[in-house]
Amino acid sequence: MMDVNQYSPGLHKLLTLHVSDNKLLTDSKAFESFTDLVLEKHSLEKVGFSTHTFDNGSFTAAVCLKESHICIHTWPEFSQLTLDVYLCNYLRDNSPKVKDVAGAYIDYFSATVLNDSEINR
């Protein structure tokens, strides 16, 4: 039997990023295409995707994963986005994968990290 006091379902990474190319902050289709590549590279399974584009072109998107989720909210008027990545798994620690996925998005957006918080759930 697993000791419930030692079980940690996963790492939740919360980022606020500054992005110089505001075009990336208004292109939800490119974000979805890039996300599909990230998921394939890291063997993550998408079970749903939802997005909404606002009047100013900013977007919010939620990628539901078998392993949990990736969410983004963009603010082109501030050249910023918020991103959260949470991967859980009862068989293995996905913390390194969370960090790799978050790093892939930082690279994709050529972003400067304004805030980086990690929560062990």
Q: How confident is the prediction for the chain on average, in pLDDT?
A: 92
Distance CA 39, CA 48 (A): 12
| Pick among 3.60.90.10, 3.20.20.70, 3.30.360.10, 3.40.50.720: CATH of 10-120 | 3.60.90.10
pLDDT tens track for 104-118: 999 999 999 999 999
pTM listed for this prediction: 0.90
70, 79 Cβ separation under 8 angstroms: no
**For residue 111, what pLDDT is reported?**
98
Strands (E), the chain: 10-18, 46-53, 59-65, 68-75, 80-88, 112-120
Mean pLDDT of 54-80: 96
Distance CA 5, CA 85 (A): 24
Band of pLDDT at residue 74, cut at 50, 70 and 90: very high
CA distances from 70 to 44, 92, 102 (A): 11, 19, 9
Q: Where are the domains of the chain?
A: 10-120
